Structure 1
């Protein structure tokens, strides 16, 4: 997959073959987004075009709504690229979402990013908007198209509720991992580096891998989870139980940063410095403060048993 950053002067970005284009922010690349990309891929194959995706960076809210700006993501750009490459996309166009882009008139956007950009087919969801004040929509795009065809993908729902990045973020924040995963079409994933921690877990018989995310991911609700962890270098996947939180039994929650710590089952190797992928399968309980070490150890054992029970029901590569 070739990544093309659409920087000005934009004409220098046009050195590529004619393509069919799926456009959107695509945070999460959830099942709704996948419908858009699948439709684009089908049209591209049918018409002998390259498969392309256009996304934006950062999220438009950073420019349009600073009070509610979104700076953490379900799929930060590195993860988004990885997923799209696995989907067989030929070109990824990254458009910087700046104040000048937000002020661009609809026809100028169409001309610069579609017509002159060798886009022959534009595919987007029913709610896609573009241009100054977001006045452009799919009906207007159909009316103003110039040198390309337009395909609108209808609303995608599960249990009569629209699949959306907003809903998935809400589910994660509430610990509704199964609901989030169903909408994503895969387990939610955070990637990062195993770094040195306090090593407190090993003193009570539960050594943990302290995972520092390599990008700004949406963190699930503070608490304990059944997870799997993949070591990128070896490709091996292990089951485990993960605590996301501030460890209130040992620290003042008001003064501590959130950590991601995974107790990996049947594992004793040192993996400091390794890049890992943590996949979230189920929420076990909220983070809580215990009266002492003994009650903490008893609860961790219960968490481990529950996680093993859950993970044994899953097909894990």
Structure 2
């Protein structure tokens, strides 16, 4: 898949001089609803015998319009999003730098430059897609298109009775509802990170853990214990993860992400890893003593192993 990065105003020679079917959206998570947009666009591109292109953004548009008290996190940072789009058969992706100047474009100018200007024969987007602050929705798009390209609107997609939306998916991540999230994303939720040194307390308990420095911008599941797989180099290893504050060992401790890999003893400091989050086991508990914690970890491992056998 070819990727072209655009900053407004873009240079005309950056744009491919060939017709495309253009799918539009931010596509955070590339969930079932997004996949339906891509699928419909792919069908249209195949029918017309032209390439499938995507228009998306380098960061969430809300950054331009509001203040955040903490860094914004994503279900899929741009590199992962691009990889997923490539897997879905997209030929070309335009990544637009969403800036204040870009945000001030009128709907008509946006359509002229970022739909017609990208040589779209058809534009495909979800029913709730917008491209400006006022009257910039799918209802008004045929008016702006002026018969220069076709407009294809994809209706709401429901998964397990809930709308397939990024806001829904983010809430599921925060609440640790990973089984349902897997259905919505149509894949296990993933994060990445770097293996760093921790307090080595897990080793003392008989459950050595890899301490993960999570990649900035990625959204972590809520506090709790989870069934996971972790990819080191090209191999996936089963394990269980703890996100929390190690409350058994004191108050006001920093939040950590620790993963115990089953039957694993290699030194892996400095490795860049991927984590698949499969299933929530339990919340964080403050145990009365270390033995209670060890006993619970044994139960956690047993339950995690049983879950992984059925994947």
Query: Where on the TM-score scale, by shorter chain, does this alignment land: which range?
Result: over 0.9
* Cα distance in structure 1, aligned partners of 2:263 and 2:25: 42
Match of 1:217 in 2: 218
- How far apart are residue 8 of structure 1 and its match? 3.3
- How far apart are residue 16 of structure 1 and its match? 4.7
1:45-124 map, 5 Å: 45-66=46-67, 71-124=72-125
Match of 2:27 in 1: 26
CA contact (8 A) 1:30 1:165 kept: yes
Match of 2:271 in 1: 274
* Cα distance in structure 2, aligned partners of 1:73 and 1:179: 18
RMSD between superposed Cα atoms in Å = 1.7
Q: Normalized against structure 1, the TM-score is what? A: 0.92
* Cα distance in structure 1, aligned partners of 2:107 and 2:200: 56
- Which blocks of at least 5 consecutive residues in structure 1 are unaligned? none
- Could you say if the C-alpha distance between residues 121 and 69 of structure 1 is closer, same or farther in structure 2, counting changes exceeding 3 Å? farther
CA contact (8 A) 1:32 1:156 kept: yes
Does residue 245 of structure 2 align to residue 246 of structure 1?
yes
Which whole-Å deviations, capped at 9, do the CAs of 1:77-98 have from their partners, x for residues lacking one?
1111111122222111111222
* Cα distance in structure 2, aligned partners of 1:312 and 1:240: 12
- How far apart are residue 18 of structure 1 and its match? 2.2
Match of 1:293 in 2: 290
- Could you say if the C-alpha distance between residues 69 and 244 of structure 1 is closer, same or farther in structure 2, counting changes exceeding 3 Å? closer
CA contact (8 A) 1:62 1:69 kept: no
Q: Out of 235, 258, 275, which is 1:261 matched to?
A: 258
Identify which range, 137-146 or 218-227, moves more after superposition: 137-146
- How far apart are residue 230 of structure 1 and its match? 1.6
Q: Secondary structure at the match of 1:216?
A: coil
Runs of 4+ that moved beyond 3 A: 67-70
Q: Normalized against structure 2, the TM-score is what? A: 0.94
- Which blocks of at least 5 consecutive residues in structure 2 are unaligned? none
* Cα distance in structure 2, aligned partners of 1:194 and 1:17: 45
Match of 1:136 in 2: 136
CA contact (8 A) 2:8 2:101 kept: no
Match of 1:154 in 2: 155
* Cα distance in structure 1, aligned partners of 2:48 and 2:69: 41
* Cα distance in structure 2, aligned partners of 1:18 and 1:70: 38
CA contact (8 A) 1:61 1:68 kept: no
CA contact (8 A) 1:19 1:50 kept: yes
Which whole-Å deviations, capped at 9, do the CAs of 1:14-38 have from their partners, x for residues lacking one?
1453211110110000011000001
Match of 1:199 in 2: 200
Q: Secondary structure at the match of 1:249?
A: helix
Count of matched residue pairs? 309
